[in-house]
Structure 1
Amino acid sequence: MTDSPPGVVDLLGVLAYAELTAFLRMAEDASLLAPTLTDRAALGDVAATEYGHFRLVRDRLDSLGADPEQAMAPFTEALDAWHAQTRPSDWYEALVKAYVGTGIAGDFYREVARHVDASTRELVDQALADDGRSEFAVERVRQALAEDPKLNGRLALWARRLVGEALSQAYRVAAARPELAVLLADPAEGVDLAGIGKMFAQITEEHGKRMAAIGLTPGA
């Protein structure tokens, strides 16, 4: 049994499962959607990195005396639902999901980690390290938009759907796991779902910056 502060095992559990599912989905997208072997290998490399991050978090759970399987279990339904609702239909949607979707998730986990111990925050930062994912996706999507500007509208709508579904599932998780929700609140004020909503609004602002970086302009 772990003696970690309340919420830490929940944080590590949801992060571990997020990294595991990211690996599995990216590997599938690389196999089914990549137009060239070079692209397949590139996304496969990103997927392998995600698996390394999963192992990092899993090993920390082990070191805390927590069962990784049990720690991840409460979050499988929400994360599986997000992936099911945001299954990309082509290569460019897969790239946008790898960049935008994972970025939104990272913002959420970093926000949760603000209120845990320094060692856990450092681990979360390691597990969320970009490791070239942004460069890989941005380069290919920007090139595609330059060759076919009509892609912008469809991919911008896709990115908006990704963030909407991600925030919906994140709110669901926070509301259902009180110890995790505590980490999203100001310790002086206690758990406040309205305050959590404001935090999600800030995450949405960060999404706008990612849209600009990847070259997507809403309404274009």
Structure 2
Amino acid sequence: MVSATGPPEPVPLPIGASPVVAIVSSAGGLAAAGLVLSALPSDLGAAVIVLQHVSPDYKSVLPAILGKLTAMPVSAAYDGQPLVSGHVAVAPSGRHLLVTRDRRLALIASGPYPPSRPSADLLLATLAVAAGPDVIAVVLSGRGNDGATGSTAVHRFGGTVITTDADTSHAFGMPEAVIDRIGTVDHIVPLDRVAPLLLGLLGRPRLGRPA
């Protein structure tokens, strides 16, 4: 069920699942991703992937920045890296980030030309195939429509799709493109409700409340 003002009581993922949270964004997304990660505990119980559009010739400092904002360990993704619960893997510049069928990360050169780099669509589509209903896709601020096709794949394979709303998205292009795919989005929430919603979906008590 789509929520426009606040998340409904979320349905936790099945016991025994190995959830993967993929947070994708572009313009304005760094601050948004940092806000979400800062509200998540070190023992989240899910692997986390963060993808932010960045020029391929730019040396990304995202792992260092995000590592100061979250209790979870953060590192740049590397080829063959397994998805580990409670760890944040950040897509590096100059590479598209994909997920293999055994839930490992794979890097391929993005090249000098668009599509958006790294591609949210490639990440989400391959993650959907690899992890199906264990996937939670979170589309934050960004221009363009990257992530809409990938989110559709996540929905098609039984995963959950979350976007921020227009009022709390610095750039609403990416969330809006996903929302325009009718039936794809499960939750449309303000930015400050994303982390509590994730905790609910993962069967965790919200921070600051007794277990």
Q: What TM-score results when the alignment is normalised by the length of structure 1?
A: 0.28
TM-score by length of 2: 0.29
Which has the larger share of strand?
2
